[in-house]
Amino acid sequence: MAKKKPALKVIPLGGLDGIGKNMTAVEYGNDMLLIDAGLMFPDDDQPGIDLVLPDYTYVLENEHKLKGILITHGHEDHTGALPYLLQDLRNRVPIYASRMTLGMIKGKLEEHHLTEQPVVEVQGGEHIDLGALGVDFFAMTHSIPGALGLYIQSPQGTLLHTGDFKLDQTPIDGVVPDYHALNRFGAEGVDLLLSDSTNATRPGFTGSEASVGASLRHIIKNAPGRVFVACFSSHIHRLQQVCDAAVAVGRKVVVTGRSMVTNTKVARELGYLNIPADDIIDAFDVDDVPDDKIVVLCTGSQGEPLSALARMANGEHRSLSIGPDDTVIISATPVPGNEKSVQNIVNALARIGCTVFDKSNALVHVSGHGSQEELKLMLAMVRPKFFAPVHGEAVHLRAHAKLAISMGIEPDHIFVLDNGDTLEMRDHKVKIGQPVESGVVYVDGMRVSDADPVVLRDRQKLSNDGIVTCVVTVNARTHKALEVDVSARGVSFADDGDVINGAQDAVRATVDRASEKAGWTVDASRRAVRNSLSNYLWQATHTKPMIVPVVMEV
Amino acid sequence: MAKKKPALKVIPLGGLDGIGKNMTAVEYGNDMLLIDAGLMFPDDDQPGIDLVLPDYTYVLENEHKLKGILITHGHEDHTGALPYLLQDLRNRVPIYASRMTLGMIKGKLEEHHLTEQPVVEVQGGEHIDLGALGVDFFAMTHSIPGALGLYIQSPQGTLLHTGDFKLDQTPIDGVVPDYHALNRFGAEGVDLLLSDSTNATRPGFTGSEASVGASLRHIIKNAPGRVFVACFSSHIHRLQQVCDAAVAVGRKVVVTGRSMVTNTKVARELGYLNIPADDIIDAFDVDDVPDDKIVVLCTGSQGEPLSALARMANGEHRSLSIGPDDTVIISATPVPGNEKSVQNIVNALARIGCTVFDKSNALVHVSGHGSQEELKLMLAMVRPKFFAPVHGEAVHLRAHAKLAISMGIEPDHIFVLDNGDTLEMRDHKVKIGQPVESGVVYVDGMRVSDADPVVLRDRQKLSNDGIVTCVVTVNARTHKALEVDVSARGVSFADDGDVINGAQDAVRATVDRASEKAGWTVDASRRAVRNSLSNYLWQATHTKPMIVPVVMEV
C-alpha cells in the first residue's frame, strides 16, 4: 500500500543564487543520499567573508540515514563544501563521482587531511543501489569533463537530476550527452525532473565547445608575439583546444597561476588533457624561447586582482610580462559582479598596447549551460510528470518554468522552490512538503559562523564611516574626567588635530557635567560620551562614524 | 611672429575613467576657459566616499585668467562639480550653456545658495568671444536635450570639442547634429579634434532614439496591468517617448523617485517635455485609476537600492506596488559595476511574477554615444590635423586612436592622454606640453579631502577584518595592569566571551611582563599590547583585525 511507505523527499539546501545548485538531499525513509556539496563566493555586501557554505544542519541531523554523496561534476560550486561537510560528519560515507571529478576532489581532501575518505569512481551507464534508492549515472556535457546526470529510483517514483549541462554534439573528448539513456528513462517514466536553469532566459542553442577551437587556432596562428589565454582552470576542454592550437603551430605552452598549474597537472595525470611533455615549458625558461613560439595559459579571466593575468597586466608577475606586440585572449565571460574587475584588466592591457580578444570581438568563449532550445529538448526527451527548475536565480527559475508550461506541463505540476522548501513524492505524485532549516553559513578565517547580520552590518558601517574610539578615565569618587583619549581610523579627520582636540574637549565637558547628576553609573557616563561625541562630529565634519566609548573608573 | 605668442594649452583635469570627460581647461596667454565641471561616482574600492571631484587646483591657481565656464550638456559627470568649483572661486565668471543645461544646473546652484552666479544662455550657431578666444557653439545629439559641441579659435589655431555625442538623424526634438557647421569648421581647418570615445570599441552605428519609441508603444499598448518604466531621469527624450505612448493609449502618467520628479518638472517648465497636465497624476491618486490606465515613470534603472524601482520591487514604496499582472521596462543599460544591483532587482521582480522587458529581450534602450561609424564620420567631416580621443577608459581611447589611424591620420598626430597631461598648440601644430597637477579629490561628508589612501586603506581593512580596541590602565608607578578592556566590532568573535577573556588575559600578562623591563614607556607598552593581542587572535581565530591599543597611566 503506497500510503504506508514513507514519501520520497527532495530537499535543496542553501544556495543564495541557485536552488539546489550547491547541495540537494534526497531521502526515502532511512536512506538518504546527497547530490553535490558546493560552495558560493561572497558578494560585495559580505565584506571579509572568505567563503559561503550551504547550511547542511539537516544532513548532520540525519547523518544516520546518509548512504552516499554523489558529485555531478568537479566545479567548486558543486564540490567546495566537501572538506567542511566531511569534517562535520562522524562517519565516512563514500563519495561517488567520475574519474575527472574525483581527480579535482582529491587535492582538496589531501589538503584537509581527509585521505581516509572512501571514494568510488563511477561512469555514465553505471547503476548503484544505496538502500532502497537506485541511482543510474549518465554522461552529460558541460564546461568540465566527466559531468554526470542522475536518474534516481525509489518505491514512490523516480526523479531525474540533470546536473549542470549543455547539449554539445561535438564535445572535445567525444563523450556526447547520453540521449539514449535520457529517452529510455523518459519512456520508463520520470516522475520529477530537476533541470539546470542557468541560461533559461537565453534563446536558441548554446554553441558547441568545438566552435571556439577554430577561432583560437586562427588567433594563435596569426599572432606576432606571445599569446596569453586566460580561462577557468577547470575548463579542461578549453585548455585542450588551446594546447592543440599551440602544438599545431609549433608554440610551447607555459602554465601560470596556482589553480591553472594544479588543474593541468591533475587533468594530464588522469588523461583528460593531452599535450606532449616536450611542449610544456616552465615560466622561468620562457626567455629562451622566441615570443612567437609561446602560448601562456593563465588564470585571471574573472579579473581577480591577484591572478596571473592581473599581475602580468600590471607588470607585477615574477617571471612573465606582456608587451605591446603580444596578444591576450580572455576566453570567458565575467560572472555577474566581476564585470568591472575584468574591465580594469582590459584597460591595463590597453595601456600596454597589446591586442585583446574577448567575447565582444571574437568567438573565444561559449557557455557551459544549455539555452532555451536545449532546456526544451531535455523536457521533450524526459517527459517528466512534475518539474522543478533548479540552478539559477529567481529570474532563471521562472523563465524555465515558463518554457515547461509552453511545452504542455501543467502549471500546478511545476515547483519554483525557495531555500528550505522541500518536495515530497508519494505514488508518483509530487507536492510541496514541510520546509527544513536552510540558508547559508559563512567561513571567516578559521570560523564557520552563522550568517551573523550584526557582524556584516558592522563591517559595512566601518567601511563606509570609519570608527572613533574614545577612552575616558574618571575619578572613582568624583566621577570627573581624568584623561580623555580620542582616536579615529578610516575617517577623513583622523589626523586633524583641531577635530580630535575639539572632540576631546566636548567629551570632557560632557563627562564632568554628567558627574554632577544623581545616580551616576559607568553605563550612563558611557552613553553620555557616545552622544556627545556623535553630536560633536556631526557638527564638525558631517560624518557619522561608529563610536566605541570606554569609561574606566580609577 | 608666431614664436612670440603664447601657446594654446589644452589641459584635461581629473577623470578616473575618462580623460577630459569631467573638466578641461583651454588657455591662451591670460585667457582661460573651462569646458564642463563634472563629477564621478565612487567605486566599490572607495568605501564611504560620497562623490569624486576632479582636482581643479590648476583652475584656482589661474583664476585670474578664467573668462567663462562652458557646459556642453546637463549630465552630472559634466555639471556635478559646479557647486564645489564655484564656492572655491573668488570671482563670479559666467556659465555658458544651453537652456536645457542651465535648467539642470539651476537647482544645484539654488541648493548651494549660489543664486548670484551669472549664467548666459547660448544655443547652437552662436559665437562668443572670451578674451583672445572665440567660441562657436553647435548642436549635437546625445541622451539629453540641449547638447552642444564647441569650436574654439585662438591665434595659434583651432580646436573642436564634440562633447558627448551620437549622430541621430531622427532625434525626438528634431534638433539634428549641425553637420553644416561641422563641415564648415572642417573646411576652415580644425587643428585639433577632441572627440567622445565612449563607444569606440562598438562597431556600426548607434540606433536612433526614435527606434526605441515603437517598442515602448507596443509594450505599453499591450500590457494588461500597470506599466513601470525605469530610465535615467535626465533622459528627457526617453521620458517624452514614454509619455507620448501613454497618452496615445489613454494611460495616465505617474512620476516617482526624487530626481525623476525634479527633472520632469524642470523639463516641462522649459518646454522640453510635453505632456498635458491632465495626463499626469499624483502617486497617491493612483488607486482611483484602473491598472491598465497607468504608466509609472521611475528612477532605479541602475539598480540603486533606495530608488523608486527597488522600493517597489521589494514592496517598500510608500504609495506604489508592482503586481504579477504588471509590466516593468528597464529602459537603460547598467553602467559597469552596476550589473549585479540591476540583476538583484530583476530577481525581485521575477519573484513578484511580473513581466520584465530590458535590453536583453526588447529594443527599449539605445546608447547616447556614437559607435565606430559615427566616430569615423565625425573624423571625416572635421578632418583634423591633430587628434586626441577623450571621454573613455584606456581601452576606448586606444580603440578611437586606431580608428583615426585607419582613416589616414598620422600616428604621431594622435595623442592618447593621461591625467594631467597637456597639449600645446603653436602655429597650428600640436605637441605634448608640461604636465600639471591633476587627479581627483573625494567628498566625504562635508569635507573635500585629498585622495587620502590611508583612510581608504583603513576602511577596506576595517571592512574585511573588523577592529579590536584594547584599553589598558596601568599603575603609574609599577606600570602593572590595573584594568584591561577588549572590545571588538565587525569580527565573528565579537560576542564570544572565551576569546575576549582570553585576549584580556594575554594582554594583562604581556603588560605585566613589560612592566618589569628597564626603560618602560607608554609607547613601548602600547606596542607590546598590540603584538600580544595580534598573536593571540591569530592563534585563537585565524583572523587579523585592525588593533587599536590604548595605554593610560593612572
- CA-nearest of B271, B279, B274 to B254 is B279
pLDDT at B429: 98
A134, A128 Cβ separation under 8 angstroms:
yes
For the annotated binding site of A for substrate, the residues are: 365-369
pLDDT at A335: 87
Instruction: From chain B, pick out residues whose CB is under 8 angstroms from the CB of A485.
Output: 550, 552
- CA-nearest of B507, B504, B512, B547 to B529 is B507
Its ipTM equals 0.82
Higher per-residue confidence, A384 vs B469: A384
pLDDT at B447: 62
Chain B residues 129-168 with a CB less than 8 Å from chain A: none
B378, B195 Cβ separation under 8 angstroms:
yes
**What 8-state DSSP symbol labels residue B463?**
H
Segment A405-426, tens digit of pLDDT: 999 999 999 999 987 889 999 9
Q: Which residues in A423-432 are b (16+ Cβ under 10 Å) and which e?
A: bbbbebbbee
Scanning every residue of chain B, which has its alpha carbon at the shortest distance from the alpha carbon of A447? Answer: B541
Instruction: From chain A, pick out residues whose CB is under 8 angstroms from the CB of B345.
Output: none
- What's the rounded mean pLDDT across residues A210-231? 96
Q: What is chain A's mean pLDDT, rounded?
A: 92
Residue B1 binned pLDDT confidence (cut-offs 50, 70, 90): very low
Scanning every residue of chain A, which has its alpha carbon at the shortest distance from the alpha carbon of B487? Answer: A548
pLDDT at A450: 61
Is A449 in contact with B492 (Cβ distance < 8 A)? Answer: yes
- What's the rounded mean pLDDT across residues A445-452? 62
pLDDT at A443 over 90: no
pLDDT at A454: 73
- What's the rounded mean pLDDT across residues B223-239? 97
B160, B193 Cβ separation under 8 angstroms:
yes
Out of A48, A336, A469, whose CB is closest to B339?
Answer: A336
pLDDT at A507 over 80: yes
For the annotated binding site of B for substrate, the residues are: 365-369
- CA-nearest of A552, A474, A460 to A510 is A474
Residue A161 binned pLDDT confidence (cut-offs 50, 70, 90): very high
A243 backbone φψ class: left, alpha, beta (φ>0; ψ -120 to 50):
alpha
Judged by average pLDDT, the poorest of A442-456, B21-35, B127-141, B353-367 is A442-456
- What's the rounded mean pLDDT across residues A139-165? 97
Segment B264-292, tens digit of pLDDT: 999 999 999 999 999 999 988 998 999 99
Instruction: From chain A, pick out residues whose CB is under 8 angstroms from the CB of B372.
Output: none
Residue type, A404: A
- Which residue of A467, A484, A551 is the best one to mutate when testing the B interface, meaning the one whose CB has the most B CBs within 10 A? A467
CA-angle at B525, arms to B524 and B531, nearest 5°: 90
Task: Give the domains, in start order, of chain A with CATH numbers.
Answer: 8-204+367-450 (3.60.15.10), 210-357 (3.40.50.10710), 466-553 (3.10.20.580)
The distance of Cα A29 from the centroid of its chain, to the nearest Å, equals: 32
Residue B232 binned pLDDT confidence (cut-offs 50, 70, 90): very high
pLDDT at B552 over 70: yes
Predicted model pTM:
0.86
Chain A residues 433-452 with a CB less than 8 Å from chain B: 442, 444-447, 449, 452
- CA-nearest of A42, A158, A49, A139 to A458 is A49
Q: Among this protein's residues, is A369 annotated catalytic?
A: yes
pLDDT at A2: 46
pLDDT at B3: 54
Please spell the DSSP secondary structure of B299-338, one letter per residue.
S-TT--TTSHHHHHHTT--SS----TT-EEEE-S-PPTT-
DSSP H or E stretch at residue A467: strand A467-474
Segment B512-525, tens digit of pLDDT: 998 888 888 888 88
- CA-nearest of A304, A286, A307 to A295 is A286
Chain B residues 30-49 with a CB less than 8 Å from chain A: 43-44, 47-48
The whole-angstrom separation of Cα A217 and Cα A19 is: 38
Our CA-based measurement puts residue A275 at a distance from the nearest CA of chain B, in whole angstroms, of 34
Judged by average pLDDT, the poorest of A72-86, A502-516, B450-464 is B450-464
Higher per-residue confidence, B518 vs A334: A334
- Which residue of B328, B340, B441 is the best one to mutate when testing the A interface, meaning the one whose CB has the most A CBs within 10 A? B340
What's the Cα-to-Cα distance from B447 to each of A212, B108, B444, B531, rounded to whole Å?
52, 18, 5, 34
In this structure, what are the phi and psi dihedrals at residue A48, rounded to the nearest 5 degrees?
A: 80, -5
The whole-angstrom separation of Cα B414 and Cα B403 is: 11
The whole-angstrom separation of Cα B256 and Cα B280 is: 11
Asked if A340 reaches chain B (Cβ–Cβ under 8 Å), the answer is yes
- What's the rounded mean pLDDT across residues B116-129? 97
The whole-angstrom separation of Cα B388 and Cα B16 is: 17
Instruction: From chain A, pick out residues whose CB is under 8 angstroms from the CB of B482.
Output: 554
Residue A492 binned pLDDT confidence (cut-offs 50, 70, 90): confident
Our CA-based measurement puts residue A36 at a distance from the nearest CA of chain B, in whole angstroms, of 24
Our CA-based measurement puts residue A92 at a distance from the nearest CA of chain B, in whole angstroms, of 27
- Which residue of B46, B395, B397, B496 is the best one to mutate when testing the A interface, meaning the one whose CB has the most A CBs within 10 A? B395
Is B444 in contact with A350 (Cβ distance < 8 A)? Answer: no
Residue type, A491: V
The 3 state secondary structure assigned to A112-148 is CCCCCCCEEECCCCCEEEECCEEEEEEECECCCCCCE
Our CA-based measurement puts residue A406 at a distance from the nearest CA of chain B, in whole angstroms, of 16
Out of A460, A467, A473, whose CB is closest to B473?
Answer: A473
Number of CB pairs < 8 Å for A and B?
187
pLDDT at A17: 62
Segment A256-294, tens digit of pLDDT: 999 999 999 999 999 999 999 999 999 889 989 999 999
pLDDT at B436 over 70: yes
Give, rounded to a whole angstrom, the gap between the first and last alpha carbons of chain B.
78
Q: Which three cell numbers stand for residue B440?
A: 581627483
pLDDT at B541: 85
The residue ranges of DSSP E strands in B358-466, in sequence order, are 386-390, 423-426, 429-432, 440-444, 447-450
Higher per-residue confidence, B216 vs A544: B216
pLDDT at A241: 97
pLDDT at B492 over 60: yes
Our CA-based measurement puts residue B182 at a distance from the nearest CA of chain A, in whole angstroms, of 30
pLDDT at B2: 46
Is A395 in contact with B462 (Cβ distance < 8 A)? Answer: no
Higher per-residue confidence, B457 vs A221: A221
Q: Which residues of B are catalytic?
A: 196, 369
- What's the rounded mean pLDDT across residues B226-248? 97
Residue A1 binned pLDDT confidence (cut-offs 50, 70, 90): very low
Judged by average pLDDT, the poorest of B68-82, B420-434, B532-546 is B532-546
Sign of the Cα torsion A278, A283, A285, A291 reads: positive
Higher per-residue confidence, B312 vs A14: B312
- Which residue of B449, B456, B458, B534 is the best one to mutate when testing the A interface, meaning the one whose CB has the most A CBs within 10 A? B458
pLDDT at A451 over 60: no
Classify residue B404 as exposed, middle or buried by CB count within 10 Å of its CB (0-12, 13-18, 19+): buried
From A161, A235, A369, A479, the catalytic residue: A369
Q: Which three cell numbers stand for residue A369?
A: 549551460
pLDDT above 90 as % of chain A: 73
- What's the rounded mean pLDDT across residues B364-392? 97
pLDDT at B245: 97
Contacts of B320 (CB under 8 A, 6+ apart): B254, B256, B283, B286, B296, B308, B312
CB atoms within 10 A of CB B155: 15
Contacts of B16 (CB under 8 A, 6+ apart): B40, B43, B52, B440
pLDDT at B122: 98
Tell me how many helices (H) and strands (E) chain B has. Answer: 15, 26
pLDDT at B402 over 90: yes
pLDDT at A497: 87
Chain A residues 279-338 with a CB less than 8 Å from chain B: 336-337
User: What are all long-range contacts of A279-283, with beta carbons under 8 Å and residues at least 24 apart?
Assistant: A279/A243, A279/A246, A279/A247, A279/A252, A279/A253, A280/A252, A280/A253, A280/A254, A280/A255, A281/A252, A281/A253, A281/A254, A282/A254, A283/A254, A283/A255, A283/A256, A283/A319, A283/A320
